[in-house]
Amino acid sequence: MPQNLLAITIGNTRTKLGVFVEDNLVDSWAVPNTELSQGLAVPLAKAHEHLRETSDAVAVLASVNPTLTDVVLGHVAKITGLSVLRTERDVPIAIGRRLDREAIVGEDRLLNAAAAYDRLKQACIVVDAGTAMTIDLIDGDGTFHGGAIAPGAQTMLDAMHWRTAQLPEITFDKPLEPVGHNTVEAMRSAVFYGMRGMVRELTEQYAEVTGGFPMVVATGGDAPVLFEGFELIERLVPELTLLGIAVSLRRWREAVDGEE
């Protein structure tokens, strides 16, 4: 059955919201976490407009930022009136896992994997370039194996400024050319090409594990700057985490219906 859904994912830097009507993502927003108290009002009001004529709409929330979860839940209840389900607690994330017993994995990584495998149905690598950059492997059977976690682009630049006496505080952007002819461009060049190089090296290492080169999918706030035109990245999917919520809700409902 087509589903109507408000998907919400709270990250380290931003909270993203997406409205699915009859299984189609019809609208999405990103709100900086520093502006949640004011910034959620308009997206949630618009989400309510999209969903108020449906009788089966629900909200599903995923979070890697527990301190903000109650804030978002309060706004959702007040503005939309929707019942809210939580990923993993109420709705299992639809991806198999091969991890160490003690491993704790961010829900965003699992949701990205679920969405990527649901669409591709083959071994793939998901690169999420945000506050941190994760490079994760999903095998051909749809099993999440984990991967690598590195500082994100802005995090690297901030660390250079904070830990040195003379390197300036700058924002991340694509360098003008590989050879930086001033300090700012040198810093940007190192981060930009270093992160691309990390993805290339790990893709080659993961290919050894899978016996072939998996398709590489990228998401996250810095992905367009880092990977636009990068031949290794086959797809840029900005809303991958939200799509993972929709996939997981659908699979969970199918499993519940199958038990009845």
* 179: pLDDT strictly greater than 70: yes
Rounded-to-integer distance, Cα 17 and Cα 40, Å: 9
Torsion of CA 145, 149, 154, 160, to 10 degrees: -160
* 260: pLDDT strictly greater than 70: no
Sheet with 124-129, strands from edge to edge, namely 96-97, 143-151, 132-138, 124-129, 215-219, 235-236
**Helical axes 66-80 vs 41-51, angle rounded to 10°:** 50
Rounded-to-integer distance, Cα 31 and Cα 29, Å: 7
| For residues 169-187, average pLDDT | 97
Q: Is 192 helix (H, G, I), strand (E, B) or coil?
A: helix
Pairing of strands 124-129, 132-138: antiparallel
Q: Is 154 helix (H, G, I), strand (E, B) or coil?
A: helix
Give tens-digit pLDDT for 232-253: 999 999 999 999 999 999 999 9
Q: What are phi and psi of 84, to 5 degrees?
A: -115, 125
Q: How confident is residue 25, by pLDDT bands cut at 50, 70 and 90?
A: very high
Q: What is the pTM of this model?
A: 0.94
Rounded-to-integer distance, Cα 241 and Cα 260, Å: 29
Of the ranges 1-5, 60-64, 76-80, which one carries the lowest mean pLDDT score?
1-5
* 259: pLDDT strictly greater than 70: no
* 109: pLDDT strictly greater than 80: yes
Q: What are phi and psi of 214, to 5 degrees?
A: -70, 155
Which residue reads 């090409």 in tokens? 193
Give the CA angle between residues 138, 96, 69 to the nearest 5°: 95
Give the CA angle between residues 210, 215, 140 to the nearest 5°: 45
Contact status, residue 25 vs residue 237, Cβ threshold 8 Å = no
Q: How confident is residue 100, by pLDDT bands cut at 50, 70 and 90?
A: very high
Contact status, residue 128 vs residue 112, Cβ threshold 8 Å = yes
| For residues 116-145, average pLDDT | 97
Give tens-digit pLDDT for 217-227: 999 999 999 99
- DSSP lists the bridge partners of residue 133 as 129, 150
| For residues 179-208, average pLDDT | 97
Average pLDDT for the chain:
95
pLDDT of residue 54: 87
Mind telling me the catalytic residues?
A: 108
